A and B are shown apart, each in its own frame.
Chain A
């Protein structure tokens, strides 16, 4: 196990800079998830940690040692790939055993390790099978088995669940999380799925355009996003945004009523007001919060609750109704959010200004 430190890490492809000098320290045993849209540099960063991409600038330390120039095999890290990358011409046992390729263990010890790993992952009955005869989830487990068999200092996961269906993905999320709790090994995990990030991470790193926007626990990310991008990226459905104005310390939002809208310490000007769909309740009136009236454009019943899409003066807003309440499409409904549920952002810089 080891701490991983990224010091002003830069990656350039010719004249294009993919990663702009990022700094991050991943603690020993921590589960860190890099999340962001395609092309944000998260996979490139992971591949630099793995040693599969040359580092253009900065310093990468694993376990306190600079490893910029070290080959992947010299870094003692293990990686699980998006496409599993388990070898079709080898059995499950051989695939797991490949992880011990450089190990100095004797044949009996290797066999014992493979058996123990297979048992941990529930693969003991499949050791003689070829990958073609396995389901997607089993293949992913084999890939994880190959990574964990040699007891690496860190696991790197590159979007490992994106090829699985929704049900299996949810199951594998829990399995990986349990595995981390049991092994306590440092994990760096890359995904574009914010649900994976929220459910698995000790800390989330949000990236955009080769830069780190915010690092924090899932709760911090959800409650204190630093800008509109992070606010909308974390949480599903995405945060609603409506335009508002601050005038002499009072916030007003067009087509909405806002009680007790005093904001202190903020200059006059345009702002964007964010409210999460789960905080924007349909049919309930909160006396001292935000209230808006809009026309229902669509409803998404989820069983325990219903997501209601509204057109509020031309802006699309999503609210939540209790499961049994199902507003009709084209009907007028009122949605409201309690005090403390509003997020304020500068309309120009899109940086967070605080909560209301």
Chain B
């Protein structure tokens, strides 16, 4: 292979003023978002006496808080509760939202548009307004202070249905018709053919749902009374209502709680970005 001199374009390294402005804004935005996170990790490495010392790097960092929180049985219980609830709700959303989204995208039936609008309209109702009917339902079904009570409002979501419908609309009908001719029933076509074709959407939905339920606070706080059923955010908040606010423990718990979400996000972020792009939605 012959070598040749390559002349680089003269303006290759030239930076436009617009780029400087963009980078500055992005940097500021990034700082605003990362600073609380850094303080959270910094505080988790401090003793209770050093809490109000706002240094980012503690003078004498200690892992005592981590040992204390991890050896506290309650924290592990809440961690397991949150993992269990977030996982079940995620699986449920992926299953039901996909099924409804697929039906709305790929089947012609009377009232389809109306049903889709009805589902979509629930996106406009804030959670705070829904909490009262949810609580009344839970009460009548004897689900107060149970896992079912925590999970049932999120088992299927309008957002997930909408997201999946948009994705299924991009799946060519030929794939489904070929499967029909090959003898598959409608459930198998959905499960074996359509679902694998929308993997980015499933990943995005799974991440959104898992993160949303992992950090859910308001509804679990209302529907639970037993400490054993607390989720992690509710449990951590209880550190501040006992004798005093134990900031170092709250921050340590919060730092530990971010680990699973970071792992989930880092592993699946390429899917989430693609998923959001294809759905034409902003995160």
Q: Which residues of A contact B (CB under 8 A)?
A: 50-52, 71-73, 77-79, 81-85, 87-89, 98-99, 101-102, 146
A72 touches B175 (CB 8 A): no
Which chain B positions have C-beta within 8 A of A73? 180-184
Q: Closest chain A residue to B188 by CB distance?
A: A101
Residues of B within 8 A of A87 (CB): 175, 193, 196-197
Asked if A85 and B184 make an inter-chain contact with CB atoms under 8 angstroms apart, the answer reads no
Any chain A CB within 8 A of the CB of B172? Answer: yes
For the complex, what is the distance from the CA of A78 to the CA of B174, rounded to whole Å?
13
Complex Cα distance, B172 from A115, in Å, reads 28
A189 to chain B, nearest CB (A): 16
Of the A-B pairs whose beta carbons lie under 8 Å apart in the complex, a sample of 11, sorted by A's number, is: A72-B180, A72-B183, A73-B184, A78-B181, A81-B174, A85-B174, A85-B177, A87-B193, A87-B196, A101-B184, A102-B182
Would you call B181 and A77 a contact (CB within 8 A)? Answer: yes
Q: B175, A99: Cβ atoms under 8 Å?
A: no
Q: Is the CB of A52 within 8 A of B175?
A: no
Q: Is the CB of A81 within 8 A of B183?
A: no
Contacts of A98 in B (CB 8 A): 179, 182
Interface size bracket, B side: 10 to 19
B178 near A: Cβ within 8 Å?
Answer: yes
Say yes or no: B178 contacts A85, CB within 8 Å. Answer: yes
Check B197–A101 contact: CB distance below 8 A.
Answer: no
Chain B residue nearest to A146 in the complex (CB) = B182
Known contacts A85-B174, A88-B197, A89-B197; decide if A52 and B179 are in contact (CB<8 Å). Answer: no
Residue from B172, B177, B196, B199 having most chain A Cβ neighbours under 10 A: B177
Complex CA gap A146/B193 in Å reads: 15
Establish whether residues A102 and B174, one from each chain, have CB atoms under 8 Å apart when the complex forms.
no
CA distance A85 to B176 in the complex (A): 8
Nearest-neighbour CB distance to chain B for A2, whole angstroms, equals: 16
Contact A52 B181 (CB under 8 A): yes
Give the CA-CA distance A289 to B177 in the complex, in Å. 54
Q: How far is the CA of A102 from the CA of B182 in the complex (A)?
A: 7
User: Nearest 6 pairs between A and B by C-beta?
Assistant: A102-B183, A73-B183, A85-B178, A85-B174, A89-B196, A81-B174
Q: How far, in angstroms, from A29 to B174 measured CA to CA in the complex?
A: 26
Given A85-B174, A89-B197, A79 and B181 contact (CB-CB distance below 8 Å): yes
Complexed CA–CA distance, A82 and B177 (Å): 12
Most chain A CB neighbours (cut-off 10 Å) among B174, B184, B197: B174
Q: A50-B181, A79-B178, A102-B182 are in contact. List 11 more A-B contacts (CB 8 A).
A: A52-B180, A79-B181, A84-B174, A85-B178, A87-B193, A88-B197, A89-B199, A98-B179, A99-B182, A101-B184, A146-B182
Q: State the CA gap A84–B181 with chains docked (Å).
A: 13
Name the residue of chain B whose CB is nearest to the CB of A103: B183
Q: A52-B181, A72-B181, A102-B183 are in contact. Are A85 and B197 (CB under 8 A)?
A: no
Contacts of B178 in A (CB 8 A): 79, 81, 85, 146
- CB distance A101 to B183 under 8 Å? yes
- A79's nearest neighbour on chain B, judged by CB, is B181
State the CA gap A101–B184 with chains docked (Å): 7
Cα separation A314 to B270 with both chains bound (whole Å):
63
A82–B172 alpha-carbon span in the complex (Å): 11
- Known A88-B197, A89-B196; judge A81-B177 contact (CB<8 A): yes
| Residues from chain A with Cβ under 8 Å of B179 in the complex | 98
Hey, which chain A residues are within 8 Å of B199, CB to CB?
Answer: 89
Chain B residues with Cβ below 8 Å from A79 are 177-178, 181
Which B residues from 138 to 193 make CB contacts under 8 A with A?
172, 174-175, 177-184, 193
Q: Take A85-B172, A101-B184 as given contacts and tell me if A52 and B177 are in contact as well, using a CB distance cutoff of 8 Å.
A: yes
Chain B residues contacting A77 (CB-CB under 8 Å) are: 181
CA distance A71 to B177 in the complex (A): 12
The CA-CA distance from A87 to B192 in the complex, in Å, is 10
A73 to B182, CA, bound (A): 6
Q: When chains A and B are docked, how far (Å) is the Cα of A51 from the Cα of B180?
A: 9
Residues of chain B with a CB closer than 8 A to A89's CB: 196-197, 199
When distances are taken between beta carbons in the complex, the residues of chain B under 8 Å from A83 are: 172, 174
Nearest B residue to A90 via CB reads B196
Q: Which of B174, B180, B183, B199 has the most CB of A within 10 A?
A: B183
Residues in B neighbouring A84, C-beta threshold 8 A: 174
| B175: nearest chain-A partner, CB-CB | A85
Chain B residues closer than 8 Å to A99, beta-carbon distance: 182
Q: Which residues of A contact B177 (CB under 8 A)?
A: 50, 52, 72, 79, 81, 85
Chain B residues, Cβ within 8 Å of A81: 174, 177-178
Closest A-chain residue to B172, C-beta based?
A: A83
Residues of B within 8 A of A78 (CB): 181-182
The distance in angstroms between the C-alpha atoms of A79 and B179, with both chains bound, is 10
Whole-angstrom distance between the Cβ of B26 and the nearest chain A Cβ: 35
Q: Which residues of B in the span 196-216 have a Cβ within 8 Å of any Cβ on A?
A: 196-197, 199
Which chain A residues lie closer than 8 Å to B197 at the CB level? 87-89
Q: How far is the CA of A89 from the CA of B195 in the complex (A)?
A: 10
Question: In the assembled complex, how far is the CB of residue B192 from the closest CB belonging to chain A, in whole angstroms?
Answer: 9
Query: Which residues of chain B are near A50, meaning CB under 8 Å?
Result: 177, 181
Please, which residues of chain B bring their CB within 8 A of the CB of A88?
197
CB-CB under 8 A from A82, the residues of chain B are 174
List residues of chain A with CB within 8 A of the CB of B180.
51-52, 71-73
| B residues near A85, Cβ cutoff 8 Å | 172, 174-175, 177-178
